[in-house]
Structure 1
Amino acid sequence: MGKNRTTTTASSIARRIREGRGKGHFSSYRPWLTIHDVPSTGVVTRILGWKSGRLHHYLSEHLELAHHYQMEWAENVIDIREQFPLLPLEKTLFIAQKLGIKYPIDPKTKYPIVMTTDMLLTIRKGDDIGFVAHSTKSH
């Protein structure tokens, strides 16, 4: 199946938000990016999550998928949300500007892209529930 990568524009971001991308928990979560949204020459994977009961979309087999397995077995992790969007866009643009970091843009449209973290984990610690973002990048 071919990739359906679209260019990033204000309307494409608004469409994904309307579709519920980056929203929900457990089986109702919809990742911001799926394996069909990005071009890849590497191995991409969809795998049924034990904790979430839904298909997870991973863009790298050795990093993201391996980390997914670790988090599935971690007793304190109760939900895994992959390709989680860092929104609102204005806030990430502001942070990048304040830190002097060049913000990534779509090469075709020159519009800022919505960055994602590889996983947003829901963690149980005693009676408390919290969230931890994980990024799985090689050196």
Structure 2
Amino acid sequence: MAKIIKNYEELVTEGYGQGHGRDYKPCKTVQNFSSIGRSHRVQGRVSKRLHHLFSDLELSTFLLLDWNQKVTDIREHYPLDIYDLNSICSRYRMNKVSVDYIPFTLSSDFLVDFGKFPIALDTLYSKDLNKAHIIESLEIKRRYWEEEHNTPFKLITEKDIPATVLENIKWLYVEKNDLEITNHMIDQAIYFMEEISQYPQSTLILFCNHTDQTQKMGIGTTLALFRKLFALRILQFNLEISYLELKLSDIHASNLLQNENTIHATN
């Protein structure tokens, strides 16, 4: 027991599981923790730092969270206080936290802030839901968050991931981290909205291909521009519709663009 506490305290002393935004240090990183699945390092829009993810399901969950405008912070691999964990295990006659968790202790995959309201999330493939030790671990985590820390706890499986929404976000994610809104982009968006009003039933793909041909631009140029405008949320569409099937009538201007358009009209 003393060894577990010592290692947990060392973890805290070194700053793991502490901080917010750019300053947060996950207790597991790609460099110091081996993963059974595929590992990913992804730059976050919300946190402005590199996130360490250890499965495709963790990546999918992260992308959905990072795109959500209500999310204000995402802390992955958040270590759980070992004193609270073993107190729960004692009360409910569960196995105490094993030394197998050292030096990283038991953690939740994500602690997510929606404004002032945190939610703890764990990801798990549904095929693993019939494993007794995993079920017990999840129950310990649920009691830890809900009973000890008054924080909602939710389990995410691959069945909770909306496939079309995720594919759209992956398409947009390539662009959105390195972009800034410029006056030139606003002008382009206003121009596109004027064109869209003339061809509402055209698909985005056909419109972009036609524009590339008539303007004698390289194939994919117009679509790449639309992707930037979508990524910056200057133009928007329902992410439940694949961008490959999107009609121009499905695209609408953001509040930002509507305000800018009003300014243009009055000048």
After TM superposition, the score normalised by the length of structure 2 is: 0.43
* Count of aligned pairs: 124
Q: Identify the residue that residue 119 of structure 1 maps to in structure 2.
A: 110
Q: Identify the residue that residue 132 of structure 1 maps to in structure 2.
A: 119
Greater share of helix residues, 1 or 2? Answer: 2
Of 13, 20, 23, the residue aligned with 1:25 is: 20
Amino acid at match of 1:138: Y
CA distances 1:69-118 after superposition (whole Å, capped 9, x unpaired): 0001112111100000111x1111111222222234134xx979621000
Higher normalized contact order (CA 8 Å, seq sep 6+, divided by chain length): 1
Q: Output the aligned Cα RMSD.
A: 2.2
Of 62, 76, 80, the residue aligned with 1:86 is: 80
Q: Identify the residue that residue 5 of structure 1 maps to in structure 2.
A: none
Task: Give me the whole-angstrom Cα distance separating, in 2, the residues matched to 1:28 and 1:15.
Answer: 18
Amino acid at match of 1:32: C
Task: Give me the whole-angstrom Cα distance separating, in 1, the residues matched to 2:102 and 2:65.
Answer: 34
| Max Rg structure | 2
Pairwise CA distance, 1:42 = 2.3
Task: Give me the whole-angstrom Cα distance separating, in 1, the residues matched to 2:118 and 2:69.
Answer: 14
Q: Identify the residue that residue 50 of structure 1 maps to in structure 2.
A: 45
The answer to whether the 8 Å contact 1:105/1:113 transfers is no
CA distances 1:44-86 after superposition (whole Å, capped 9, x unpaired): 111110110111111112x111000000111211110000011
Distance 1:37 1:103, change over 3 A: farther
The answer to whether the 8 Å contact 2:27/2:104 transfers is no
Task: Give me the whole-angstrom Cα distance separating, in 2, the residues matched to 1:36 and 1:112.
Answer: 14
Amino acid at match of 1:73: W
After TM superposition, the score normalised by the length of structure 1 is: 0.79
Of 90, 94, 103, the residue aligned with 2:96 is: 103
Task: Give me the whole-angstrom Cα distance separating, in 2, the residues matched to 1:30 and 1:113.
Answer: 12
CA distances 1:100-137 after superposition (whole Å, capped 9, x unpaired): 22234134xx979621000000112xxxx111101111
Matched, 1:75 2:69: yes
Q: Identify the residue that residue 165 of structure 2 maps to in structure 1.
A: none
Task: Give me the whole-angstrom Cα distance separating, in 2, the residues matched to 1:42 and 1:29.
Answer: 24
| 5+ long unaligned stretches in structure 2 | 127-267
